[in-house]
């Protein structure tokens, strides 16, 4: 990614609301593997550090900011000196920045001033936790609008993800394991230039398609008529695409077609709502209403869609939020609109954000309908919603699994842009 990180830091600085405080942002250090050896887990610089520096391999790095020196000149990057052993064993080179040995003097010259700490904590430096929480929210809000360079990376990542989904299509059939599907999918990403997956790939066949974060298994083979749910995406320079598609191994039943169509209709309408000024909560409840209305038409639920959603009955089949922010990581800068607190309503407990959409936001839109035995067989829920559901019909479909469809949407000044529209939705 071609990004002027000095310009980014200068742009971000006034939005942090710092006055007398100094800001320290640590990259972090490698973590040893839990074994008796000198091996380390792969190092990933803290997201808050990486956004300000672009240094994915900045082991032990530190960015310091003194607002009294101005938004442009107040930033100083400190880097540890690379040792001979690191050069020999790891091929590491010295990254740009002031030697870490100068940091103590920098900090001492500002003695007595409060410290705000982002990223990985700096050993031996006390900080104001309450003030850090406030400034972190301001930082998060400032990062939500994506720069053109970030959007370009997301587009490239979407192309690689589309290649992976194209590569897996011949393997979406009876007799193929979830693990084989994962291998073919991810190989498609890497052939297209992606460096890794943005998160652990989720693949579930049959009843496993209703496990929201299921892990692919080499032992579970798709059977004729099974749902196949794939939730996965490529990563490019730390930027991530997050896509879900649901297919059927072989020929779908009429009930499966109706369930898939209900989710697809809700997803398309939710995407269309992603315009500037829209409340994310309204996108969520709009999708819930659309899917509950479809379940009523299918005979699964009973009553009016509005009343059922007001009772939170939709949580039986749609137990998660409709999406989240996306970009530098799979959960990038979500949370609350400044000044808001999280709602106590059960239907909003799983929402990852309560925001007003703005141009430059990239969000996932991922409605889903699932038959999850852990929810549907709970006696308290059955009693509470005894008149809202055709429980005999539900019991006949307890092992069907679920359908989720997810695309990545760029909010613009006008109509939303679907970055992942090139990936067919299945069935």
H-helix or E-strand containing 407? strand 407-410
Confirm if 419 and 241 have CB atoms less than 8 A apart: yes
- Structure-block tokens of residue 107: 């900090």
pLDDT tens-place string over residues 279-305 = 999 999 999 999 999 999 999 999 999
Q: What are phi and psi of 258, to 5 degrees?
A: -65, -40
pLDDT tens-place string over residues 192-216 = 999 999 999 999 999 999 999 999 9
CA distance 219 to 261: 30
In angstroms, the Cα distances linking 243 to 17, 160, 341 are 36, 12, 29
Burial of residue 392 (number of CB atoms within 10 Å: 0-12, 13-18, 19+): exposed
Q: What are phi and psi of 416, to 5 degrees?
A: -65, 150
pTM of structure: 0.94
Chain Cα centroid distance, residue 302: 34
Mean pLDDT of 65-84: 94
Q: Give me the half-sphere count of Cα atoms (radius 13 Å) on the Cβ side of residue 243.
A: 30
What's the confidence (pLDDT) of residue 178?
Answer: 98
Q: What are phi and psi of 133, to 5 degrees?
A: -60, -40
pLDDT tens-place string over residues 102-115 = 999 999 999 989 99
pLDDT tens-place string over residues 262-281 = 999 999 999 999 999 999 99
SS3 (DSSP) at 149: helix
Nearest Cα to 360, choosing from 144, 132, 105?
Answer: 144
CA distance 300 to 125: 58
């Amino acid at each position: 990614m071609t990004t002027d990180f000095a310009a980014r830091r200068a742009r971000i600085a006034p939005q942090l609301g710092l006055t007398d405080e100094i800001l320290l942002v640590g990259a972090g250090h490698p973590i040893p593997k839990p074994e008796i050896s000198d091996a380390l887990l792969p190092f990933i610089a803290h997201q808050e550090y990486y956004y300000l520096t672009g240094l994915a391999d900045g082991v032990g790095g530190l960015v310091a900011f003194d607002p009294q020196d101005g938004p442009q000149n107040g930033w100083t990057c400190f880097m540890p000196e690379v040792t001979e052993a690191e050069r020999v064993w790891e091929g590491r080179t010295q990254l740009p920045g002031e030697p870490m040995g100068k940091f103590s003097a920098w900090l001492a010259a500002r003695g007595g001033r409060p410290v705000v700490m982002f990223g990985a904590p700096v050993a031996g430096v006390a900080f104001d936790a309450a003030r850090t929480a406030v400034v972190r929210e301001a930082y998060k809000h400032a990062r939500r609008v994506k720069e053109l360079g970030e959007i370009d990376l997301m587009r490239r990542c979407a192309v690689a993800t589309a290649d992976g989904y194209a590569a897996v299509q011949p393997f979406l059939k009876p007799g193929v394991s979830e693990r084989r599907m994962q291998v073919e999918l991810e190989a498609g990403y890497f052939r297209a230039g992606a460096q890794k997956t943005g998160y652990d790939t989720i693949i579930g066949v049959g009843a496993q398609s209703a496990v929201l974060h299921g892990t692919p298994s080499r032992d579970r083979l798709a059977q004729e008529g099974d749902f196949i749910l794939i939730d996965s995406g490529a990563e490019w320079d730390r930027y991530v695409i997050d896509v879900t598609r649901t297919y059927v191994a072989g020929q779908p039943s009429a009930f499966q077609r109706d369930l898939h169509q209900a989710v697809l209709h809700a997803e398309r309408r939710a995407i269309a709502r992603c315009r500037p000024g829209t409340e994310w909560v309204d996108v969520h409840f709009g999708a819930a209403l659309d899917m509950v209305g479809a379940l009523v038409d299918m005979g699964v639920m009973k009553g009016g869609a509005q009343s059922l959603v007001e009772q939170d009955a939709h949580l039986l089949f749609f137990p998660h939020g409709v999406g989240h922010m996306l970009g530098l990581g799979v959960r990038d800068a979500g949370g609350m609109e400044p000044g808001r607190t999280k709602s106590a309503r059960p239907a909003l407990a799983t929402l990852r954000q309560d925001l007003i959409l703005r141009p430059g936001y990239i969000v996932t839109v991922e409605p889903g309908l699932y038959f999850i035995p852990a929810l549907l067989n709970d006696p308290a829920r059955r009693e509470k919603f005894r008149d809202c559901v055709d429980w005999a019909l539900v019991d006949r479909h307890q092992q069907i699994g679920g359908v989720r469809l997810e695309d990545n949407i760029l909010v613009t000044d006008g109509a939303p842009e679907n970055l992942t529209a090139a990936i067919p939705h299945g069935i």
